[in-house]
Structure 1
Amino acid sequence: MRTRAIGAGALGALALSAVAVPAAHADGGTGDTTITKVVVDGDNKVSVGTSAVKTIKVSVTARDDSGIDSAESFSLAGPDYGFLTTGTPTCTAVSSTTSTCTASVTVDPKVDYLSNASAGTWYVDAFVTANDYDYIWSQKAGSFKFQRAAQLTVNASPEPVKKGKAITVTGKLSRANWETLKYAGYAGQSVKLQYRKKGTSTYTTLKTVTSSSTGGLSTTVTASADGYYRYSFAGTSTTAAVSATGDYIDVQ
């Protein structure tokens, strides 16, 4: 089951991951039932673009001395009245006292009418019942980032280039606009220019470049050896991290 989100006159939307929840921010319950972990999409970050359907897995781990019986559909809520609900969770015992209850929800940017303002920190609400009828109801059992997907390009030239000569590295940082279903330049962002020498596997940062009003990137470096140049963006609370595929330069 999925409930769409409504915000600022438009329908909004959602995501979560391994978040330890020491006190579980419990809003109510009985007995010794506790929520010990909430996991969404593996890394507490969900990136949604402009066309592809995203399936988000939500897992809530709970404990009670008598064991866990069941959980109700998880609710996920965020900025601008963003709201989604999962299907009915399946609870799997990991010990005599602890179970992990898992469910999923899909987000389709073409159907769910996401609001850009809905990007940011979201929370998971959970209701879990134990075998002895104890229960816990926790709002904000875990938090996660629901982010607009990003794209990043790079082009290094000229190629080939003589050692000691200047290389110009251009590119563009853009992010999903959920309201237009297109990608648009992301201005004023710090983006790292990185280099990986041929025959090695690790990129090193050469400098940081700020994206222009249209998301454009441009800088120069001195050619030293054959290798790959790329731009890398660390992301923000509302926009996913992304790295461009390295562009190879032949230095002669």
Structure 2
Amino acid sequence: MRIRATVAAATGALALSAFVVPAAHADAAAPSRAEVAKIFAAAHAASGKTGFRAPAPDDDGPYAMDVKFSNLKIVKSVKVGPTAHVATSVTYTMTHGTDVDITAYDFFTEPFLYRGSYTLPDNFLFGYDFATCTVTSATTAACKGTIDIYPNEGDLLNPEAGTWHVGADAIAFNGQDPTSTDFDFTKVGFADNGTLGTTLVQRGTGLSVNAAPEPVKKGKTLTVTGRLTRADWETNTYRGFTNQPVKLQFRKKGSTVYTTLKTIKSDSAGNLKTTVKATVDGDFRYLYEGVTVATPAAPAGDFVDVR
């Protein structure tokens, strides 16, 4: 239900990704994934657009449905490791005309993420299921959906870390049966908005620390080592994160506050190593503050007994 958005989007591949019929809407007459894909393949061909948009009402494709989206909320950043599934909740308000039946078994709405231009995106991310909506008035509903990311299934490439745009869409089949010879594309409604917000999709980072020797005599030298790693979405592993500024911090025994002692940079393998003088008992840790494409990281402190 997720697919990389390339020029092939015009063939309907995105439609197959976007409108998988979830279990909550399962019905004997509900359109299949392949049938939905055919609809959007025709819509894209009729509109001459490669992005995920509805054609004009007079095109030979779905008509522009009277549905609008607003008040979309999503987390500021999404941390994605190398393998584990990540689910991100999205809420939004859906406003519709009185002629749109959002309670119909073949009406669907969902949030999505995309990177790049909406008319020619680099990638789209959708949810495994469609959003669920609670009717709040005759023409409005409060909707909640989920964006699902599976890095171990090829959802993301490493260069795609950073800012993603957030949108929402809706489709109404209006009782049309795509398997029927009487199926009419122009009676299927579609609406979308790709400018509802942004979020960061970041590569997860890992950070370790070890201070030695332990215990240590007061005034002697401590060597503090560690390693900074970053999720590689293409190999599904953590790899060394090179040439990054990392702070060495110390927290005196009994205190709750860490103080920065110095800043060093990770080497070509992500390794960290520096020395300090042992003065009092306490915890040493490394702190990485993160960048747009990678998350912050801070391991638990390594306690050193100074004698």
| TM-score bucket (shorter structure) | 0.7 to 0.9
Tell me whether 53-62 or 239-248 shows the greater mean CA deviation.
53-62
Instruction: Give distance in 2, aligned partners of 1:108 and 1:174.
Output: 20
CA–CA distance in 2 between the matches of 1:111 and 1:214? 26
Structure 2 residue aligned with 1:72, among 95, 109, 115? 109
Deviations 1:135-191 (A, max 9, x none): x95322111111111111111011111222221111110111111111111111111
CA distance in 1, matches of 2:305, 2:142: 52
2:240 aligned to which of 175, 179, 185: 185
2: CA distance between counterparts of 1:183 and 1:199? 34
Counterpart of 1:35 in structure 2 is: 70
Identity in percent? 39
User: In 2 relative to 1, CA 63–224 (structure 1 residues): closer, same or farther, beyond 3 Å?
Assistant: farther
Task: Name structure 2 gaps, 5 residues minimum.
Answer: 9-63, 103-107, 172-190
Report the equivalent of 2:204.
Answer: 149
Separation in structure 2 between the aligned mates of residue 96 and residue 72 of structure 1, nearest angstrom: 17
Scaled by the length of structure 2, what TM-score is found?
0.63
Render the CA deviation track for 1:46-98: whole Å, top value 9, x for unaligned: 1111221112212225689x9xx968211210258121123322234789998
Q: How far off its partner does 1:242 sit?
A: 1.0
Equivalence for 1:18:
none
In our comparison, the structure showing a higher alpha carbon Rg is 2
Counterpart position of 1:19: none
Partner of 2:88: 56
Amino acid at match of 1:3: R
Match of 1:112 in 2: 154
Counterpart of 2:290 (choices 221, 235, 243) is: 235
TM-score calculated relative to the size of structure 1: 0.75
Structure 1 distance, partners of 2:138, 2:271, is: 56
- Structure 1: gaps of 5 or more residues: 10-28, 130-135
Structure-2 separation of matches of 1:84 and 1:95 = 30
In the TM superposition, residue 7 of structure 1 has moved relative to its aligned partner by 6.1
Greater CA drift, 90-99 or 75-84? 90-99
Q: How large is the RMSD of aligned CA atoms in angstroms?
A: 3.4
Alpha carbons of 1:250 and 1:94: their partners in 2 closer, same or farther (altered >3 Å)? farther
